[in-house]
Chain A
């Protein structure tokens, strides 16, 4: 970006060749002979059997390990800061809408096995820290990502939302955390920040194609961000990071509907071009990209089918396929001439190999835009390669009490071919890993696990080789089940069932749309024996392409099952005031009096009353006796007539009724306020509300109303907190006083000038000011917005920085501590060891403590030898 600001340099860049351009652009960075930051953009197109087209955008930026601080040329700074701060070793975040259709779009290739994701948001991350630190890092990471991508990823923060798979999740590691949000709606708001991470945004290069309406019209789109940071070799160096951004979209090209009516044309694949499916064309590459290629992949099934068709026509089918003019073959026609054609190295598993056409975008310009089109000449029908077993999951049973989850695995005919290749078919076994997370309110009975193979019940121990279960804890953690199944290769169908009870939720744990039901996130079924990899024969240029080298990697075949919707018992939220208060009142009155009537013995009571009447003056107050005398005096004559009882009823019942009504009104007001609170507080648990923030690093408040409210300053604060701690902290104390003043003036203002609309809020504020039953952290933004102009001017300077949410009483203590912390941090920074700052922070080591720390202490903290020595040396020199 820095180089974009220099117009003459820019001019040179555009004009000169790529080689020269790279030389000039990164020459300055390159002084120490290190690798420079690189960016690749690639697009893969693939026709799918069910008349759709798969488009797969692949952008890769890499930042090499450098020692020159935090400056980046191409690599997004937000990501590198994130990696440094949270010590992320590997992370993947995906936003998906729609379902990947494993049957017709394939389940074996590298694209589905690494890019087919469950609907909603999926996030997993591996951290490079000791076990006990991971959870707090994960929580902070979710908040940062939620700010970065405008999504409610912060809901993954609560321990009920994420899990720690032990071994069934592919990058098997103990430091992994995994969480999904199946209900998250994905929209352009998530795509825009994702595009912002690209050096050229969507202004140039292949990403120009990303036309929002056409992407979101697609049948499936999954936007993914995968980053791996390589371990920093020597101390004081930033880790090298590879950021891989992919966007997988399945689109249906427009075709004439009327043609469907004709039986002959039903088999015709639709013809398409880039401009017809995206409505845009590529006008040249992104100048910052190393390579900018478009690939067209014809998968194995299609190539086999084409060969078959060729054989009917010509003899030398093989030659035609490879030959240079294949792009104008009798089956289909390409509108652009491919620069290179690759043929897959035939593997053991299948005889057929796929064909890849490569188009280099850099040859095209604005005047001659790149627009690849594919026109079919003959009808073609083929099938995509399937995973060995097709997994589907469904709910069993009915009612609101209990049910069962069933995972059914059906063998796909295509897999038989692979199995047959194995030498000893009889004894061969198919290994299947299943990973299932179940939220706590679905109480799974793990003992009820049943296994059926080929419709015969089997003993669990025969089939399940390894199982790891961590049962759910109510309101604390979800249930996790990891299984390794060993199925015979000849299996045609298998099923797992497991029963559950449906739990009850507390009233404030229900989401706003509680009646929709609750989601059970997708199970992951993976086949460790099978690896999807495509190795293309060709020259070295292939190795440069990150996309193709990704294909070359052996990735485990994985598939996600459907998200399930469990209907739970739901209270009727619609009329709590009318129904609950009135029925409670009626019931209280009715049952109270009924109980009274039943419990009382009439004769005994009479005796008691008689006794009482005899010694009437005993302990009755004067007033009451007078009143009763008066009453009796009037009622003596009509002893048991109705008026007597009526007057009696009036005197006491009216009082009671008034009392109850008053109570009801009170309850109603409370409920209303509570309802407001619930709306505001989202799914905050009670415990959290009580404790406030227990974590050292201020945990941001919940995103209240979904993704619309972007809290930019929040994550920025998270990120830059280290750099500017002094400024924000100095203001906290003074601010508290001012806040109080503000509140006072605000109340005055509100009392005088507020309309009826803000009445409720006033009351709440008052309550929160006096009683403090609700989190204080809800106040500052409100105050900010409510303060009228003159008062705002006086506090404008202070409120510009987001305040950490800390209780007012402990502010002073916190301040002191933070100052010390900061100095630790500053101290470490001066040594270039700021990445260990978090370790100290977690152990609450301030400067005074640090001075007294010995070598062993530091060792216990997990600090390596080199830095340890440095710190001790520095401390000695200080002391």
Chain B
């Protein structure tokens, strides 16, 4: 930046042409401070503008044709469904100690419809931390020897074969059901599914097979569904399970349903399959509704921020709102709904929109403040759950196998007395029927609509093209600042040399200097690498810690912290010791370290935005300001001006916020109040993250610690000063 300018001034010659792109780059780098401030603020502002910029959803796949056929689900089917609900609740009252009775009832009902029925027995597989399995496809699980007879779940699976179809594709309907202690809601969800199922056995328009999976949710809904999917997609042909089933007597009981009960009965012990899954719907009914309206909640986030195709959500939304008169609801952060600052921000946007409208009447910008607040709350939760990488329901298991799936949770009005129950059965059943019919219409798999989006309301979304702008603005300053720091570090030394030597010797010295100087950054890169290595070690430590038996979350957390510090010290002493020798020009050294850190951060954030946008966005929000502001404490202390004081305070605050546990507690405190916060909670949270194979964990581990060089450095520089002084 400064170099060419200086030269052109000195030489007094007509300025040689420099490429415009180079000039632009030089311009930006030279004004990096201003640019970074502008970019960061606009990035944050753009994020807050997203709810305003959200577009209305539309159904992009023409073949879906939702709602084009009138629903065929009649009262007869509803009565059938009601019968099942009644039988199930009765059986629960009779024998609650084993759930086998209710499984038999469900299987019998399915058989009576002429469906193919099979039981799938599974052992709950504990989610395990596989340090290097984050992005690999799900495997078929490990064989565990110590299965006990008592701990198994039974999924009941019914399959309707499409009468004229070729059996290449299937649609899955999942109803989680805990036979041991089922609420009324679960029974009702089975009733809805059954009424739809009984309709589908009679229809002629079916082109895809229908699988109804009654997932045994006594070990969690997700575990049952994922166990079934694992068996469906990656079965193991050599297993010990047969031996087990022989040893456990009661499971064999289960299979003794009278095979000849119905003509051409299709009950079998073997696992049954249909074709490639086109889509899956998980249906749940909440026990007690506190709403004043029948509401249906859509949960879509799967592991690592994957979302199902937007068309699936659109179809559900369209059918629920326009056909069945249900209110559709997407998860939102409730705490944000009452925040006054959001409301005022919304009002500002609203008034701005009004101004814009007076200037240009065609301008359709802006939404009402209340809508803005709701949109922001939805967006925030959408971002949060995508960033967390933990699926919000059993549908997450499907996404691991590239199947589009969502969870629908119906919360009925008030109580579930007889009349309302039938109403819910009818409307819920018609909704499911409509969705299945739409998916059945599909000739190709879901591919038309968006996969990368954030929802701001059930009918509004922000697509990747829009939200990437906010992110890009946020991280744009990083390379510029890195470049400017690098140039600073180089040029300052150049000035020194330039002053001391005669102009004739410049060329020689410069050429020699360039070769040495251009490799100087390697030193700082080594430091950064070491700190990253430390981050990797710290994030792998829990794997070993959790092997320690009988450890409370609190103690394991403490062990973790202690081990981390120990490892840092060891690494520092072993690898980073040469760094201590560098004495001269600490400021330059610091600038180089910062520039390398920032560029590595930029690369990390950029890569993460491809994998999981939400994580990258939140990470960028936390870390970009910190990276830009970080400055050694010593230097600031020396300067002692007001500006540097502010900077020190900012540094300290940001440094603490960006520290993962601190951020966690802050967030938790904000949402639930500080009283409930506990050190052990963080351990639990981290444990849940790795249990779900969330990439966020890896990200936190690597990137956060990656940003640590700055903090460490800012502490270390004064330390080294002292060392130098001693010598």
Q: Mark A564-578, 1 if CB is under 8 A from B, else 0.
A: 111100101010000
Shortest Cβ distance from B116 into A: residue: A103
Cβ contact of A597, chosen from B21, B163, B260, B275, cutoff 8 A = B21
* Residues of B with C-beta under 8 A to A267: 262-263
**Residue pair A397, B13 in contact (C-beta under 8 Å):** no
Cβ-closest chain A residue relative to B26? A602
Name the B residues within 8 Å of A610 (CB-CB). Answer: 13, 16
Residues of A with C-beta under 8 A to B161: 99, 101
Contact with A along B375-389 (1 / 0, CB 8 A): 000000000000000
- Among the listed B23, B167, B239, which residue makes an inter-chain contact with A562, where contact means beta carbons less than 8 Å apart? B167
Contact A567/B276 with A399-B402, A452-B237 known, Cβ cut-off 8 Å: yes
Interface status of A405 (Cβ within 8 A of chain B):
no
The answer to the question of B4 belonging to the interface, with a C-beta cut-off of 8 Å to chain A, is yes
From A136-144, A353-361, A513-521, give the one contacting chain B.
Answer: A513-521
Is the CB–CB distance between A649 and B237 below 8 Å? Answer: no
15 chain-A/chain-B pairs, Cβ below 8 angstroms: A98-B163, A99-B167, A257-B202, A267-B263, A392-B273, A396-B234, A398-B138, A452-B237, A455-B242, A493-B270, A565-B169, A596-B21, A613-B13, A648-B17, A649-B20
Q: A267-B262, A269-B263, A564-B275 are in contact. Are A457 and B238 (CB under 8 A)?
A: yes
Indicate if A406 sits at the interface (CB-CB under 8 A). Answer: yes
| Contact partner, A103, options B4, B7, B204, B266, Cβ 8 Å | B266
Among A635-673, those with CB < 8 Å from B are 636, 639-640, 645, 648-649, 653
Query: Would you call B142 an interface residue if the criterion is a C-beta within 8 Å of the partner chain's C-beta atoms?
Result: no
Interface residues of B (CB under 8 A from A): 3-5, 7-8, 13-25, 112, 114, 137-138, 161, 163-169, 202, 204, 233-235, 237-239, 242, 260, 262-264, 266, 270, 273, 275-276, 400-402, 443-445, 447-448, 510
Could you tell me the distance in whole angstroms from the C-beta of B208 to the nearest C-beta in chain A?
10
Closest 6 CB pairs of A and B: A50-B264, A515-B444, A609-B16, A452-B237, A565-B168, A119-B166
- Residue in B closest to A380 when the chains form the complex, CB atoms: B263
**Interface contact A563-B167, CB-CB below 8 Å:** yes
Q: In the complex, are the beta carbons of A97 and B169 less than 8 A apart? A: no
B13 contact set on A, CB distance < 8 A: 610, 613
- Check if A456 is an interface residue, CB within 8 A of chain B: yes
Q: Does A516 contact B8, Cβ atoms closer than 8 Å?
A: no
Known: A596-B19, A640-B15. A452 touches B238 (CB 8 A): yes
Query: CA A450 – CA B237 in complex, angstroms?
Result: 10
B443 and A513 contacting across the interface, CB-CB below 8 Å: yes
Q: How far is the CA of A605 from the CA of B3 in the complex (A)?
A: 14
CB within 8 Å for A396 and B233 given contacts A519-B168, A565-B276: yes
Q: Of the candidates B24, B238, B445, which one forms a contact with A455 in the assembled complex, judged by CB atoms under 8 Å apart?
A: B238
Q: Evaluate contact between A516 and B163: CB separation under 8 angstroms.
A: no
Interface assignment of A46: CB less than 8 Å from any CB of chain B: no
Chain A, range 29-53, C-beta contacts under 8 Å to B: 48-51
Known: A49-B263, A517-B445. 19 other contacts (CB 8 A): A50-B263, A50-B264, A182-B166, A217-B204, A266-B263, A380-B263, A381-B263, A394-B273, A396-B233, A515-B445, A562-B275, A564-B275, A564-B276, A565-B169, A597-B19, A613-B14, A632-B14, A645-B23, A645-B24
Complex alpha-carbon distance, A593 and B262, angstroms: 75
Residues of A in contact with B (beta carbons under 8 Å apart)? 48-51, 97-99, 101, 103-104, 119-120, 182, 217, 219, 257, 260, 266-267, 269, 379-381, 392, 394-400, 406, 408, 410, 450, 452, 455-457, 493, 495, 497, 513-517, 519, 562-567, 570, 572, 574, 593-594, 596-597, 600, 602-603, 605-606, 609-610, 613, 632, 636, 639-640, 645, 648-649, 653
Q: Which residues of the partner chain A approach B114 to less than 8 Å between Cβ atoms?
A: 50
Contact B402 A515 (CB under 8 A): no
In the complex, how many angstroms separate the beta carbon of B142 from the nearest chain A beta carbon?
17
What is the distance, in angstroms, from B20's C-beta to the closest C-beta of chain A?
5
Q: CB-CB < 8 A to A182: which residues of B?
A: 166
CA distance A600 to B4 in the complex (A): 14
CA A98 to CA B234, docked complex, whole Å: 27
Bound complex: CA A212 to CA B428 (Å): 37
**Which residue in A48, A257, A497 is a CB contact (below 8 Å) of B237?**
A497
Minimum Cβ distance to chain A for residue B374 (Å): 32
Indicate the member of B20, B166, B260, B447 with the most A CB atoms within 10 Å.
Answer: B166
Chain A residue at smallest Cβ distance from B400: A398
Contacts of A648 on B, CB cut-off 8 Å?
Answer: 17, 20
A48, A381, A574: the one within 8 Å of B448 (CB): A574
Which residue of chain A lies nearest to B4 when distances are taken between CB atoms in the complex?
A602
In the bound assembly, the distance between CA atoms of A564 and B166 in angstroms comes to 9
Q: A602-B3, A613-B16, A639-B8 are in contact. Are A104 and B264 (CB under 8 A)?
A: yes
Compute how far the CA of A22 lies from the CA of B202 in the bound complex, rounded to whole angstroms: 49
Among A51, A219, A257, A632, the residue within 8 A (CB) of B263 is A51
A562-B167, A613-B14 known; A602+B234 contact, CB < 8 A: no
Residues on the B chain within 8 Å of A99, using CB: 161, 165-167
**Chain B residues with Cβ under 8 A from A400's Cβ?**
402
For A522, the closest partner residue in chain B by CB is: B166
Contact B22 A600 (CB under 8 A): yes
